[in-house]
Amino acid sequence: MHLKKTWKTAAVMLLAVAAVTTVTAAFYFNYAATACCAVVPLSSSSLLQESSNTAAMDNEPYRSKLVGSSATRPSKLYAVCETRDKLRSPADRDRFSRHRRQTIDSTSSTVDKNPGNKYSYNGESETARNGDRGNDTTLIYFITPTYPRREQIAELTRLGQTLMHVSRLYWIVADDRPDCSLQIMNLLPDFSIPYTYIASPMPSIYKHNPDAMPRGVSNRRAALNWIRLNHNINDSNAVIYFGDDDNTFHLDLFKEIRTTKKISMFPVGLVGEYGVSSPIIDKGKVVGFFDSWPAKRKFPVDMAGFAINVQLLFKYPYATMPYKAGFEEDRFLSALAIRLDEIEPKAENCTRILVWHTQTAKKPKPIVMVRSKATLPGSLATLLDQVTMLGIGGVSETTGVRSYMTKNGNIFRV
């Protein structure tokens, strides 16, 4: 009997050791496994410079072969679908100038003082984003988690046209899907912004409870890992900011966060029952937080309400976001060992709202029923193909909402 008890005790101990070993291995794998994706680290200045490879010379971005594929490459954690480090070709500049004629980049203190040339844009914006001079301007890594839905392309279009006006910005778009979206890869070059597009699906284990699903976590974790692998560890001239695709941003926000030495915070509008989430400032220091969902969090802030200097990622290499809905910001900032007296208040001592947590109303994708796709009149067939491709609707000959066209006040089935 005593021998049997001894064997049982030994078996339990072995199982416990195995469990601890597995958990530890998983923890280290979370950061280290992505090393297979590493490329030569780039400084914030060289990140925006012209690439020397043939694809960059032809102004063609690196594009993954995983379009429409369920596989991911080269890491099991995420796939880099497309990277475009070069800002603009001459053709891009011509197109970009149409958006920027006679404008001033309000995210920088440098202005173009040559009004005689109506085709010139702000000097700092053009040169800094091209990477050939003006590289003392702090680079902003703008991380945008996104996910497939009918509003996705519309949201990214609106956000991209805001970011077009921001100098020295690198956009990381992390998509919650296992493959690469052709629609997004066709869209992102339109904005003439250096970017990396990542496919980073949420692990299926976290999808079982829709009410507590940690949305955006896998995307932000993938983006943080990408920065750790691609940014020069010795270069502190960069900040990281998390901007959702449906949020609204005042251009002054980017000017504010560029000066972040360690961590900065500011108010976010349209959040919770208070309508705002913000640090409370007294004599230039953070003394508390105003948020309608404290939940015993040390840092009850919104994801859009802070920016960090890139060096914090390297100082705390295992700091990341947990798969726990509502606690992503708090646990991430706690892992960075942030203290209240280190927080740099922005937006006029947190008295001005420069970012809003706007959300687009979600509606089901409509299905349009037509008599025959082959006999649709004029441009309608091509238009409905576009609607289907963008994911904002569908077309069927057997089910859906009956569709009609009007002509001279008369209604006809299509």
User: Quick check: is 329 catalytic?
Assistant: yes
Nearest 5°: phi and psi at 275? Answer: 80, -5
Sheet of strand 169-175: strand arrangement: 62-63, 79-84, 195-199, 169-175, 139-146, 238-242, 306-309, 263-265, 343-345
Beta strand 139-146 with 169-175: parallel, antiparallel or unpaired? Answer: parallel
- Residue of 284, 302, 282 lying closest to 292 (CA atoms): 302
Annotated binding residues for Mn(2+), written as ranges, equal: 246
Query: Contact, 105 vs 126, CB < 8 A?
Result: no
Query: Contact, 350 vs 281, CB < 8 A?
Result: yes
Query: Contact, 368 vs 401, CB < 8 A?
Result: yes
- Residue of 33, 38, 356, 78 lying closest to 217 (CA atoms): 78
306, 312, 313, 315 alpha-carbon torsion, rounded to 10°:
-160
Q: How far apart are CA 29 and CA 25, in angstroms?
A: 6
Instruction: Indicate if the alpha-carbon torsion angle 372, 373, 377, 383 is positive or negative.
Output: positive
* CA-to-CA separations, 203 to 10, 172, 219, in angstroms, rounded: 34, 20, 11
230: number of Cβ within 10 Å: 21
- Residue of 231, 300, 315 lying closest to 267 (CA atoms): 300
Instruction: Tell me whether the omega of the peptide bond preceding residue 300 falls within 30 degrees of 0, making it cis.
Output: no
Active-site residue, selected from the candidate residues 126, 151, 155, 329 = 329
Could you tell me how far CA 300 lies from the centroid of its own chain?
21
Token digits of residue 325: 């809905």
User: Catalytic residues, which ones?
Assistant: 329
